[in-house]
Structure 1
């Protein structure tokens, strides 16, 4: 996702309202007018700086956000923000309650109201993804036309990394889909047999979610994340550029276009399109 797109997303109410909630306590403390009224400070000599306990809470929050963001595979500013909102709001609730229990309760009610009124924006752009509902249909489709290459995302609806990757996979499908290069998704939370067959752990602590597998001529040829020679799972950041490079989508697209009728013209158009991008 380009910076231009990220800044456009930040303009949406969900993000800037949650950013205000995330910095609400510090903003109140650092704004003299608000601080003296909310925290009953009297006199010009009173200090609105954070005390040691408040600094400890904020420092702990910073560590948690960094760790969780890395575990969820956040690679863009928007991903970092989205994955940190929950923890920042919890920390702010603690800080407000530390100052006054009533403030903490009011802040929690405000967060609930914001969550109901402003849900997180979801990807609304075009996509060309086949959603497989059963294992049988999936296996039949892989073997129906062996000239077709499939890039399949194995995911669960509750995993944060899968949620972060969903718009990236959708955009890639819109860009590269052809009759012989297709994109599909399987919810292994609903079809655990598929997860077992392809060796994908679907428990809450799994580091294999999402898993993207490339199938050519009906057989698996590559996957991410994958294991090294010692059987250790290697971390993979599911950014758009990483997926393009790892699976060679440009080359796969070119090969898929060559199989279409009027292939020479199609290949020329594909090359020109990629040069523009």
Structure 2
């Protein structure tokens, strides 16, 4: 697992954003660079002053809080969730030193983000993407022998972005004819969110929401409310999803009770008819 994460960090997107995130502190601590950049005030400013220290300390608190809220459970996810806040803090720090530096750093961030977008999952997946509410509900009841695990998400939410590769890997691992995986973008289809009582606001703690449907009806969901109706926090790691929805047991049950194909049904009916004659 660690080897895979370290390999992921070698991608240009990550190391460039790490460099941007630490650029101001490195510039301050590297004496040759500091003397060139910060002597415009008539003195060498190669130490962090109290205001700069406060900004960095506040950044640390924000990153920790936001990363916990987004359920960043791996090093890669933690970094991805923190890049936005660290770059904003660096824009403030560079602007605090010199407004021109702040503008230049902002333009550099825009350039890097356009050239090096965040890497997306490229592995195998078995996911049905539902494009409207009617298709989604028709599929749920079309064949009630099929168990559906559905992820309700939005494209802009960090928790949903972090969970996407995990969900894709789970779909590849557990997909069967009678155990299928689907996704619904409730940002595009708010009527689905309304029906299943999922908030898609910027402050929502329900993104993503994963629901297991059995016999065409909701059987289990995460996150869910407790006995008092208070929403319980849920970290969307692969192991937590397996445990919460009993995927291993469900997969075993689906293997032991496969869906009969039309030919099998015809053969069975023919054999039954012969026995009665």
TM-score when normalising by structure 2 = 0.89
Q: Structure 2 vs 1, CA of residues 199 and 30 (structure 1 numbering), >3 Å: closer, same or farther? A: same
Give 2:238's aligned residue.
240
Give 1:254's aligned residue.
252
Q: Aligned with 2:210: secondary structure? A: strand
Answer with 68-77 or 165-174: which moved more: 68-77
Q: Aligned with 1:189: secondary structure? A: coil
Separation (CA, whole Å) in 2 of partners of 1:56 and 1:197 = 45
Answer with 66-75 or 253-262: which moved more: 253-262
Alpha-carbon contact 2:151-2:183 (below 8 Å) kept: yes
Give 2:273's aligned residue.
none
Q: Structure 2 vs 1, CA of residues 261 and 65 (structure 1 numbering), >3 Å: closer, same or farther? A: closer
Give 2:142's aligned residue.
144
Alpha-carbon contact 2:177-2:259 (below 8 Å) kept: no
Give the alignment partner of residue 215 of structure 1, picking from 213, 216, 219. Answer: 213
Answer with 24-33 or 11-20: which moved more: 24-33
Asked if 1:126 corresponds to 2:154, the answer is: no
Separation (CA, whole Å) in 1 of partners of 2:110 and 2:141 = 48
Query: For 1:8-37, what per-residue CA distance to the aligned partner results, in whole angstroms no more than 9, with x for missing partners?
Result: 110000000100000001111111111122
Q: Which has the larger radius of gyration?
A: 2
Give 1:52's aligned residue.
50
Q: How does 1:105-124 map to 2 (within 5 A)?
A: 105-124=103-122
Give 2:15's aligned residue.
16
Q: Aligned with 1:220: secondary structure? A: strand
Separation (CA, whole Å) in 1 of partners of 2:210 and 2:26 = 42
- How far apart are 1:88 and its partner, in Å? 0.7
Give 1:171's aligned residue.
169
Give 1:135's aligned residue.
133
Separation (CA, whole Å) in 2 of partners of 1:98 and 1:221 = 54
Give 1:6's aligned residue.
5
Q: Structure 2 stretches of 5 or more lacking a match? A: 261-277
- How far apart are 1:49 and its partner, in Å? 1.9
Give 1:83's aligned residue.
81
- How far apart are 1:41 and its partner, in Å? 8.5
Q: Structure 2 vs 1, CA of residues 257 and 39 (structure 1 numbering), >3 Å: closer, same or farther? A: same
Separation (CA, whole Å) in 2 of partners of 1:194 and 1:13 = 37
TM-score when normalising by structure 1 = 0.89
Alpha-carbon contact 1:35-1:41 (below 8 Å) kept: no
Give 2:72's aligned residue.
74
Q: Structure 1 stretches of 5 or more lacking a match? A: 263-277
Alpha-carbon contact 1:130-1:185 (below 8 Å) kept: yes
Separation (CA, whole Å) in 2 of partners of 1:190 and 1:110 = 32
- How far apart are 1:5 and its partner, in Å? 1.6
Alpha-carbon contact 2:38-2:97 (below 8 Å) kept: yes
Separation (CA, whole Å) in 2 of partners of 1:41 and 1:115 = 30
User: Following TM superposition, where does structure 1 have runs of at least 4 consecutive aligned residues deviating by more than 6 angstroms?
Assistant: none
Separation (CA, whole Å) in 2 of partners of 1:216 and 1:58 = 49
Asked if 1:97 corresponds to 2:57, the answer is: no
Alpha-carbon contact 1:154-1:187 (below 8 Å) kept: yes
Q: Aligned with 2:181: secondary structure? A: strand
